Structures are given as structure tokens and as C-alpha cells.
Amino acid sequence: MIFLTLVRRSLARHRALVAGLAVLLSGFQFLLVTIAVNLQRDGLYSQLAALMPPFIQEAMGGAFSATFGGTIALGFFHPVVMLSLSCAAIYMASEPAGEVEDGLVDLVVARPVPRHLMVTRSVVVYSSVTAFIVVLMFLANRSALRWLAPAGAEVPAARLWWVALNLLAVVWCFGAAALALGARMRRRAAAAGAVALAAVFLYLLQFAAAAWAPLRPIGRISPFHYYEALRTLLGLGTPSKDIALLLSVTMAFLGAAYASYMHRDL
């Protein structure tokens, strides 16, 4: 009962962000399918592939990015999509720091609320909300394909599910990092800002590492390194190992968050 009350309150506080992001990212799926259908109909994909410099193709996962299948799946690996979902998770997960900053812990934790519930609440909220948005994106993608695309022109649903899961694993990893920091800090902007900045840096690092061989060893520290969406879409393997690794890092961050919050002065 207490836990559900905390979850409901947190969801209510984040509802505008959740609704806005869900509409934007689901709408983007429809837009991409519309674009892909038009490019296909006008026979522009071969020209597009020829125009794209090899290093860009490499950075985006290969020539598949300039195909019908690549375009309709772009809504799952476009940098703006990945970073906006990551930032939403980071913001929601940094709620414990915000509650200390605003003094709201004095109201909530002064009641018979076990401390660990505050962290568990944030884990549940940020992970379920981002999962909800990704599921909506998936459903929007499939619906748009069914209504707009010519028969047979689509990416197999199972591959797109793996991509969606892999994307969620990346997003959850950043959320957990924000929670680990937010459970220690007194200022939400500092906790969320630091992790959001790190997410942008790590994306750029991975982008550079994919295009320039000498950077590749360093690129491994980026969670985006473990998200090869085009490889999955082409059916070259399932990303189960990458997902397992990302979830392990997520668990480590969550462990740190619990440990910090249980011992800190609020």
C-alpha cells in the first residue's frame, strides 16, 4: 500500500514528461514509416546508399541504414531517440536527490516508510515508464507498417523486439547510474546533469570509435557500444550477451544506489 502510494505520486510528478515523450517517439515511428514508404516508391534508396560516405555507413552500422528496413527501424537507434529516452530515465531516476533538495523527505521518510522503498520506487518508475514508452514505439511501428507499407516490406517483429530490448538495457543502465548518484547527492540538477552529460559524451565516443579504428578499444566503455541495432535487424545474431552485460552494469549501479541511500543523511 505504502509502496504503491509512492509509485503513484512519482508517476504523477512525471506524467507530463512521460506523456510528451510517448507521443513524440511513437509519432516519430509513423513518420519514419511514411518516409520509408515514399523513398521506396520513388526508388531513391540506391541513390541514397551511393551518396552516403563509407565512414558514415560504418558508423551507422553499414549499408543497411540506407534501406527500407533500416529507415523504419531508425526510430529505435536514432541518437535523438536514444539520448532522449536515456535522459528521461536519468531525470526520473534522480528523484531521490530532488526529494532531499526540496525537503520532501522530511514529509515522506519521517513517516513509517522504509528507506529502501524510496530507491525501489525510483527503480520501478524509471524502468517501467521507459519500458512503456518503448512498447508504445514498437506498437506504433508495427501499426504504421500494417497501415502504410506495401505487403512484405517490413522488418521481422522478433528482430525489432531484440532491438527494443537492447535499447531498454542501454536506457536502464543510464537510469541506474543516475540513481546511484542521486542516492548520494543533495541536488537533483547536479546528479541528473552529470549523468546526462556522460551519456552524450559516451554516445559521441562510440560514434567516433565506430568510424575511427584507433578509438575502438576506448569505445568499449560506452553502453552504446553494446547496442548494435543494425546488426540485430539484419539477423546477424541476437544481442543477448550485450543485454546481459548492460543489465549487469545496471544491477551494480542499483546496488550502489541502495547502499548509499541506506547510509546517508537525508
Query: Site for another protein (CB under 8 A): which residue of 52, 104, 190, 194?
Result: 104
Closer residue to another protein in complex, CB, 87/118:
118
Size of site (CB under 8 A) for another protein: 23
C-beta of residue 245 within 8 angstroms of C-beta of residue 92? no
Contact mark string toward another protein, 3..42, x via CB under 8 A: --xx--x---x-----------------------------
Q: What is the length of the chain?
A: 266
Looking up cell 552485460, which residue turns up? Answer: 245
Query: Site for another protein (CB under 8 A): which residue of 43, 214, 217, 265?
Result: 265
Q: How far apart are CA 188 and CA 194, in angstroms?
A: 10
Closer residue to another protein in complex, CB, 19/106:
106
Contacts of another protein in 110-139 (CB under 8 A):
110-115
> What one-character-per-residue DSSP string does 73-123 give?
HGGGT-HHHHHHHHHHHHHHHTHHHHHHHHTTHHHHTTSS--HHHHHHHHH
Closer residue to another protein in complex, CB, 103/214:
103
Q: Which stretch binds another protein (CB under 8 A): 140-148, 188-196, 215-223, 258-266?
A: 258-266
C-beta of residue 72 within 8 angstroms of C-beta of residue 154? yes
Question: Nearest CA to 167 among 96, 84, 234, 106?
Answer: 84
The reply to whether 102 sits near another protein by the rule CB under 8 A is: yes
C-beta of residue 168 within 8 angstroms of C-beta of residue 83? no
Helix (H), strand (E) at residue 126: helix 115-148
Closer residue to another protein in complex, CB, 75/182:
182
The reply to whether 107 sits near another protein by the rule CB under 8 A is: yes
Q: How far apart are CA 192 and CA 87, in angstroms?
A: 8
Closer residue to another protein in complex, CB, 54/114:
114
Q: Which stretch binds another protein (CB under 8 A): 99-107, 129-137, 232-240, 253-261?
A: 99-107
Residues that bind another protein (CB under 8 A): 1-2, 5-6, 9, 13, 102-115, 263, 265-266
